[in-house]
Each structure stands twice: as C-alpha cells, then as structure tokens.
Amino acid sequence: MKTAVVTGASSGMGREFVRQIGYFYRDLDEIWVIARRKERLERLAENSRVQVRIFDGDLRKKPVYRKLYTALKEEHPDIRMLVNGAGFGKSGTVEKIAGEDPKIQTDMVDLNCRALTRMTLMCLPYMSAGSRIINLASAAAFCPQPSFAVYAATKSYVLSFSRGLGAELQKRGICVTAVCPGPVDTEFFTVSGALNSPLKKLTMAKAPQVVHQALKDSRKRKALSVFGLPMKAVHVGTKLIPHGLILKIEERLSE
C-alpha cells in the first residue's frame, strides 16, 4: 500500500501538503494524517481525493505513537513520503516566556525536534528507493534569533538533522528536503504571538505556494527548499555575514 504520512495536518502547511500530495503522487493509496484536533482531520478527510487515515493525538505523548506503531506493524505500508509538519513557536525573550509558562519552551523542543526525529525513525524502515522526507524547518534556522531563541534553535536542529540524514540516505535513494520559508500566513502566529516586524509582514507568503514549491523541490531531490527571493537573499546573507554582526543588527531593529 503506497502511503504518505503527514504530521501537523490539521492546519497551515501540513493541511496544504495533504491537499497537494495527491497531485504529485498519482498512485497513492492512503495519506496518514496526525494532529491533535480530530474534527479538523475528519473535515480534511471528507474533502480529500486520496483516502485519509486519521491518527489523532499529541506528538509529545506516547499514545499516538502506539497507534501508529500498530498500524505500521500490521500493514507494512510502502511509505513514499513523510512530511514532518507539526511544530510551533513562541516569540519573546527566553526569560519572559519562561515567566509566563515555565514548560512551553521545552515543549517546543519536544515537538519541533524530538517528535520529528521519532517520526522519522519510525517511518524509515518502511521507506525505499524513491521515497521522500520533507521536514518543515524555517528561515529561522539560518542564524540565532533574539526573542525567538528556542524556536530558531529547534529549526537549526531540523535543518542540520535533515542535511546529515539526507547525506546518509543517498545510498538508499531516499531524498530529504528541509523546507525553510520565512513568515507564512497560517495559524502559527496565533500560537507564537502576532508579528510586529514590518519586514516580516511584508515578506509574508501563502501556504499553498510554499507547499507547492517544497513538493517541486523534493521531486528535484533538493536538500533545501527556500521560498521566494527575500528568503533566498536572507539565506545567502546569513552565510556571508558573521552571526555576531547579524545579532547586533537584530537587537537594533527590535529596539
């Protein structure tokens, strides 16, 4: 059974992947979707052209992995694509966020890094030559960010993990793409806090376009998918300019 597995499928880019994957993989039998909001996943399933199987649950907790483990063992799916889309951010200084919610930043590490790694390890034995992994990193992965410090660090992990894993899996013909967009218009900002940077507001992208680009880049076996000219410029800039200097500029801009 040819399957795609998508985490974070109840909204934003994850949901968009579910909507678009069927057009890129015409012979998919099922898409397995994971997120906490079951009713959202049910609505997505009703409108999907590919059969959708729902695994509702919190990726920071064990039960959803048990359900997935059982399904994998019983069905031995041929996983053609894994999209690790679940993730969240929280803006503010590390101390301010910790004062408001002492657990949320470690929860962020658990979801953005640990859950993504765990999902990858669970799915890999069911992937073969031509399969693809798409990991939602962020342009925040390119350099440290004050007032988004933990989030940017988790995304640097995702980018580094994706590139290292991609190099390892080349021999098996499995391609790993890290998707690194700038701001994308999704529910992300309901959780992270509203955008107050005019520059970020100006470069806000649309989820369908970012996802379309990511699927095209994955098909071309690219290790990195960076949407739009502004973020491509940011990517080059963060390679050329020392990060100490970028941090100073970022501090100035936030004053």
Ligand X SMILES: NC(=O)c1ccc[n+]([C@@H]2O[C@H](COP(=O)([O-])OP(=O)(O)OC[C@H]3O[C@@H](n4cnc5c(N)ncnc54)[C@H](OP(=O)(O)O)[C@@H]3O)[C@@H](O)[C@H]2O)c1
Q: Which parts of this chain interact with ligand X (CB under 6 A)?
A: 8-14, 35-37, 40, 58-60, 85-89, 111, 136, 138, 181, 183-184, 186-188, 191
CB-wise, 77 or 183, nearer to ligand X?
183
50 or 180: whose CB is closer to ligand X?
Answer: 180
Which of residues 2 and 109 has its CB atom nearest to ligand X in the complex?
Answer: 109
**Minimum gap (Å) between residue 126 Cβ and ligand X:** 20
Residues 6+ positions from 90 with CB-CB distance below 8 Å:
97, 104, 105, 108, 150, 151, 191, 192, 193
For ligand X, give the closer residue by CB, 78 or 197.
197
Please state, in angstroms and rounded to a whole number, the distance separating the CA atoms of residues 78 and 75: 9
Residue 173 gets the label, from left (phi > 0), alpha (psi -120 to 50) or beta, of left
The secondary structure element, H or E, covering residue 215 is helix 207-219
Least distance to ligand X from the beta carbon of 172, Å? 25
CB of 153 to ligand X, least distance (A): 12
Question: What's the gap between Cα 77 and its chain centre?
Answer: 22
For ligand X, give the closer residue by CB, 108 or 127.
108
Q: Which residues of 89-102 are buried (b: 16+ CB within 10 A; e: fewer)?
A: bbbbeeeebeeeee
Q: In the bound complex, what is the minimum distance in angstroms from residue 29's beta carbon to ligand X? A: 23
Closest CA to 12 of 204, 213, 186: 186
